[in-house]
Amino acid sequence: MLLTYRIYFLMITRFTGILAVLLFSFATSAQEIDCEKVKDNIPTFIRSQMISIELDDSTRLDMDIFRTCGNWDSIDNKLFAWPNIINIIIDYSDIEEDDTYGEIMSVVDYYKSTEQYELDRNEIIESAKFASYLENESKNNYHYSTPNTELVLELNQENGVFYQLNDLSSALDEGKTQQKRVLIYFTAWSCANCRRLEDRILVDKEIQQLLADHFVCFSAYTDDNKKIAETDILEGQKNAQIQLESFKSISTPHLFILDENGKLISESKYVMSVDEFLTFLKKGLK
C-alpha cells in the first residue's frame, strides 16, 4: 500500500519514552550503527506513518543511520537535512509501507548520481556564502517601520520585495494598512526548486508588477539556523511551526495568498511556467 506523505497527511508527533527505549537497542549513536544489520529494517518514520518537523528520538535515529551508511559529507548533511530528505525521496520514488533503510538509501544514491544533485549542492554552497555575508552585515539599515509592525527586508529576494515573516497577525495588519493581499512564501536555503522559482518565474515583469501593486509579500525560511533573540529557538523552527499549524504544510516552495481577515484565497507550490504563477496571483485578487 502506497503511503502518502504530502502536506495534509503530515502532522507533528512525539514518541513516548517506551518507543525510545526500544529504539535504543537498535542503535544509540552513529558510531554504533552496523549498516549491514540495519539495511533490511524499516525506518521509524515509515512505520509510524507520521513525520515530525523537528527531530525526535525516532527520526534522529533514522538520520543517524542515513548519514552513517550513506557516507554523507557536510554539504550532504545540509541537503538531506530532516525533513528535506523526505521531499527528495518522494521526487525520485514512491514510499511504500515496507520500504527498508537500504531501499531508501538506494533512492538517495540514485539521486546522488544525477546532474541535479550537483546543481543542488552548488546552490547550497552559494546560499551558505550569502547567509554568511548577511550575518556580517548590519541589518539596521534594512528595517522598515510601519504603524503595525517592523518589517525587515529579505535582501536575497532580488525579484520583488519580500519581508521576513514574523507572525501571521502582523503580516495581516500590514496588509490592511496597505490595503493589499498578503502573500506568504515558505522557502528554504536548501530548496533547489525555490531558487528555480525565483530565477525563472519571479523575474517576469508582469509578475513583479502584480506583486508590487497588489500584494504585501513575506518570506519564511524553514531551515534558517539563526536563533531568535534571547531564546534557543531557531528562526527556521518558528517558520516551520507557522507553516504546519496555519497551513497544514511542510513543503517548499509553498505560497499562500490571504485576504485581510486571514482567509486563504489561493495557494501554489512549485510551478514550471509564468502563466501558472500568474493564474495563482490573479486568483488571489478575486
46-82 per-position pLDDT tens digit = 887 766 666 677 788 888 899 889 888 888 888 888 8
CB 20 within 8 A of CB 57: yes
- What is the average pLDDT value for the chain, to the nearest integer? 78
Look at the block and give the residue holding cell 529494517. 41
Q: Based on the domain organization, do 103 and 235 belong to the same domain?
A: no
The verdict on 144 and 77 lying in the same domain is no
Nearest to 25 by CA among 49, 41, 46, 5: 41
Count structural domains, the chain.
Answer: 2
Residue 264 lies in a domain: yes
d(CA 254, CA 241): 14
Residue 123 lies in a domain: no
Global confidence as pTM: 0.54
On whether the CB atoms of residues 221 and 189 are closer than 8 A, the answer is: yes
Residue 195 lies in a domain: yes
Q: Which domain holds residue 279?
A: 140-284
**Across 191-219, average pLDDT:** 89
Q: At CA 70, angle to CA 64 and CA 73, rounded to 5?
A: 85
Give the confidence band of 1 by pLDDT, cuts at 50, 70, 90.
very low
* % pLDDT > 70, the chain: 74
